[in-house]
Amino acid sequence: MEYKKVTDFIHDLYGAQDFVPLAVPVFIGNEKKYLNECIDTTFVSSVGKFVDRFEEETAKYTGCKRAVVCVSGTNALHMSLMLAGVQRDDEVLTQALTFIATCNALSYIGAHPVFIDVDRDTMGLSPVAVREWLAKNSEQKNGECYNKNTGRRVKACVPMHTFGHPVHLDELVEVLNEYHIELVEDAAESIGSLYKGKHTGTFGKVGALSFNGNKTITTGGGGMMLFNDEELGAYAKHITTQAKIPHRWEFKHDHIGYNYRMPNINAALGCAQLEHIEEYVASKRETAKAYEEFFKNIPEIEFFVDTPDTRSNYWLNVVILKDKEAQQNFLEYTNDNGVMTRPIWELMNRLPMFENCENDGLNNTIWFADRVVNIPSSVKI
């Protein structure tokens, strides 16, 4: 049986006889040292040297001018959209093939998603589909883009780099510039991923990272905003720390602020993790290569690989089954035989909160939803 070959291979790959989880964090460096330092100094909350250090080192690693930590990736994306100028009743172009956080973040503002199809070679938002939808459904008024069907302003576009695979960013940037739409990258899954040598999350107005427990590096929970505009980054830091005017004892505030501050103890974990990120990405890419070679001999299962102009972190590895029935059979067999697998998320347009949102038909999106399965993807040290 082909499925038995798959589970046997995965058990051997990870050296686990009983159970292979989907993705677990690894701690091989200074995590305990830095956490103990936080406890010893009592700086465990939102003030402490590790917060500043984590921001500075992430900015350096990704190549952006300023990075600002948040308590979660969802918070980071919420702030990113606000800072890009998205307002209540604006529309945001995005993909239905994504984790719920993408749509939750824009919903906090009162904005509306418009779901555009993904590309077959990236599983991410398709620049061609975006252009086609805009050509048919939008018009320009005073240098801004409006949806002719609803009359709402189309202010931003949020591609999500699915499972760490970058979308076609050059083409997407070109389309959005032509239509005066801000790019906000949902790079929650793609720390360590590069598009033409440049880190994801650094192509638009703002990019958002996630450091959830199953991500390539983790702070337990947490997120980060990436900016190419230092002034906008400084403003983001201000409003995410309750917009308090610095003073030794007074508590005065000059904007509506948000308590999105990452605690120092989480940032300490992040600093230790970041020290090994290239090792982690290399490990994940080696695992992906092993999967790619193995599945070449399994004719009814395709392993999904990155495009030639990208370096994916392969956050979660993907196999594509021949149809919905095969997908469900594969999920049942693997989970019954000690290998944790899962399908792609329920598509956003199929959830009750977003089922009435406009979409372009989503042909590729639906095709993936019926076939994609994530297989174990932990870093192997």
Percent of the chain with pLDDT over 90: 97
Which pLDDT score is estimated for 172? 98
DSSP class of residue 245 equals P
Compute the distance between CA of residue 25 and CA of residue 82 in angstroms, rounded to an integer.
31
Which pLDDT score is estimated for 128? 98
Model confidence pLDDT, tens digit, residues 360-371:
999 999 999 999
Residue 264 exposed, middle or buried by CB count within 10 Å (0-12, 13-18, 19+): buried
33 has pLDDT over 80 = yes
Which pLDDT score is estimated for 46? 83
47 has pLDDT over 90 = no
Q: What is the mean pLDDT of the chain?
A: 97
Compute the distance between CA of residue 375 and CA of residue 335 in angstroms, rounded to an integer.
10
For residues 227 and 236, the answer to whether their CB atoms sit within 8 Å is yes
1 has pLDDT over 80 = no
Classify residue 163 as left (phi > 0), alpha (psi -120 to 50) or beta. Answer: left
Percent of the chain with pLDDT over 70: 100
Cross-strand partners of 303:
319
Task: For the chain, list the domains and their CATH numbers.
Answer: 2-27+277-348+358-375 (3.90.1150.10), 31-275 (3.40.640.10)
Q: What is the mean pLDDT of residues 275-283?
A: 98
Which pLDDT score is estimated for 16? 81
Q: What is the mean pLDDT of residues 242-249?
A: 93
Composition of the chain by helix, strand, coil, percent to 5: 40, 20, 45
Compute the distance between CA of residue 34 and CA of residue 180 in angstroms, rounded to an integer.
45
CA distances from 381 to 11, 211, 280, 287, 294 (A): 16, 20, 8, 11, 20
Q: What is the mean pLDDT of residues 25-49?
A: 94
243, two tokens: 């917009």
Which pLDDT score is estimated for 279? 98
Burial 363-374 (b: 16+ CB within 10 A, else e): ebbbebbbbbbb
Model confidence pLDDT, tens digit, residues 294-328:
999 999 999 999 999 999 999 999 999 999 999 99
In degrees and rounded to multiples of 5, residue 312 shows phi and psi of: -80, 145
Q: What is the mean pLDDT of residues 242-268?
A: 95
For residues 298 and 82, the answer to whether their CB atoms sit within 8 Å is no
Model confidence pLDDT, tens digit, residues 92-150:
999 999 999 999 999 999 999 999 999 999 999 999 999 999 999 999 999 999 999 99
In degrees and rounded to multiples of 5, residue 7 shows phi and psi of: -65, -35
Model confidence pLDDT, tens digit, residues 181-238:
999 999 999 999 999 999 999 999 999 999 999 999 999 999 999 999 999 999 999 9
